[in-house]
Amino acid sequence: MAEEDASAAALDFERDTLLIPQTSSRHAPPCDSVTPESTKCVEINTTNPDGNKKVKLQLPMICEPPGPNNPTGSKIWVIFGATGHMGQSLTRACLSKGDEVVAVGRINEDTVEAIQEKFPYPNCFNALCDVRVRESISTVFDRARERFKRIDVVANCSGYGVIGAFEDQDEHEMRNQFETNFMGTVHIIQLSLPYFREQGAGRYLIFSSTSGALGVPGLGPYCATKYAVEGMIEAMLYEIDAFNIKATLVEPGLVRRDEPDWTSRPLPTWGHFLIKPPTEPYSDPSSPALHAKRIVQWLGDKQPTSAIKCAELVWQLAHCSYPPLRLLLGSYAIESIRDRLRSIIEEFEDWQHLHHPADPGLENEEDGEDEDGGEVGDDGENTEPAAKKRADQSVIADEVIVVRAESDGSVAHYNVQPYE
């Protein structure tokens, strides 16, 4: 019996090892360095010249963020969507800290001169592209390499969304969101991966959203694009680990527009979102389809999370030694995704009794017998005493399954037998 236990454990270990991709130790901190204190964000309190207290957040020590104990040199960034909501704050943060930046604006909305006015820094190189067009992105990378000879960080802050009921969004609007948010990310990564592999290092900072972790009424297609991006990055991370290339999904939640030129933009646009007027079935002010619109109209610039402070943390992310897969920014992001995960776990628990292997006794269910052989009454209830039924169910739940593997040439046969 002990041998069977050991055999089953060994098989389970081999199976789990095959199912869970393994990453190299250089992308994760040493296990003995993980402590409760090391996983908490650090608050650095300073005082402004006017005497007011200023709190600066720093990434957890487990990430080995930049600082006196982990000095880092300047990096060369390519930031797509540099003229957008988060892009402006991130670009200014990088430039102010001495990093060199290729600030990429939208080819149909920006001009090189306008970008120069936004970022009047000598260490900034400006470019335009359409992330939906692969050749446009390729030109940006070629010019960046020609100017700086290398690329250290690629950040994608570009994005586009339509606020409106799923039924009200036409095919063109849905495809445009996927072409911008998902295929744009695909183009950026596929065209820069060869550079990173050649260098033996590189880092991706892909701006996702809390909409990539939960469905938001009124943002259905936009959520779908972010779900797609998150799945792709999470899978790709295992594939690029061997090349010393790292990737992080940045998930901000309700980030206010700190840049002054954004405050005067009225609806029907809000940031990089287009707000569609609802059709008659969804015109009721209390309709769930108007949830996203109500959020942006009610909040305006009252969002609790600062884009400037988020940009500071993202800059640290590019310079830390062990970046996480996901970085959630803001209390709304933390609470909403935590609630979402909690609801998923609760749903699993409510329905887990249907996930166990079927008991052989169920084969007789159609003949009027229940799973443990008892008779079923006219009302469909088991006529056996409840205590006996609970005892039988306990035995079934405690049953241990042992998998024996027998080799027959090059083919392995697996027989599932109950533990005896």
- Total of domains in the chain: 1
In-domain check, residue 198: yes
Find residue 220's DSSP bridge partners: none
Q: What is the pLDDT of residues 189-203, one digit of tens each?
A: 999 999 999 999 999
226 is catalytic: yes
Distance CA 270, CA 262 (A): 9
φ/ψ of residue 354, rounded to 5: -90, -5
Q: What is the pLDDT of residue 293?
A: 77
In-domain check, residue 107: yes
Q: If you average pLDDT over residues 223-248, what whole number do you get? A: 95
Distance CA 112, CA 169 (A): 33
In-domain check, residue 192: yes
Cis peptide bond upstream of 268, omega within 30: yes
208 is catalytic: yes
222 is catalytic: yes
Query: Of the listed 160, 204, 222, 282, which one is catalytic?
Result: 222
Q: What is the pLDDT of residue 400?
A: 35
- Give the amino acid at 103: A
In-domain check, residue 86: yes
In-domain check, residue 316: yes
In-domain check, residue 309: yes
CATH code where residue 212 lies: 3.40.50.720
For residue 297, what are the CA distances in angstroms to 264, 312, 369?
A: 14, 27, 59
Q: What is the pLDDT of residue 155?
A: 97
**Residue that the structure tokens 């999370």 belong to:** 305
Which among 274, 292, 323, 271 has a CA at the least distance from the CA of 70?
323
Q: What is the pLDDT of residues 112-133, one digit of tens each?
A: 899 999 999 999 999 999 999 9
Q: Model pTM?
A: 0.71
Decide if pLDDT at 390 tops 50. Answer: no
| 3-state secondary structure at position 120 | coil
For residue 348, what are the CA distances in angstroms to 39, 41, 170?
A: 28, 31, 35
In-domain check, residue 378: no
Q: Mean pLDDT: which of 20-34, 229-243, 261-275, 401-415 is highest?
A: 229-243
Q: What is the pLDDT of residues 142-179, one digit of tens each?
A: 999 999 999 999 999 999 899 899 999 999 999 999 99
Decide if pLDDT at 137 tops 80. Answer: yes
In-domain check, residue 6: no
Decide if pLDDT at 399 tops 70. Answer: no
Query: Of the listed 89, 208, 209, 211, which one is catalytic?
Result: 208
Dihedral over Cα of 402, 405, 406, 411: its sign:
positive
Decide if pLDDT at 9 tops 90. Answer: no
Q: What is the pLDDT of residue 207?
A: 93
Name the pLDDT band for 84 (thresholds 50, 70, 90): confident
Q: What is the pLDDT of residue 253?
A: 77
Domain containing 90 equals 61-331
Query: Of the listed 158, 160, 209, 226, which one is catalytic?
Result: 226
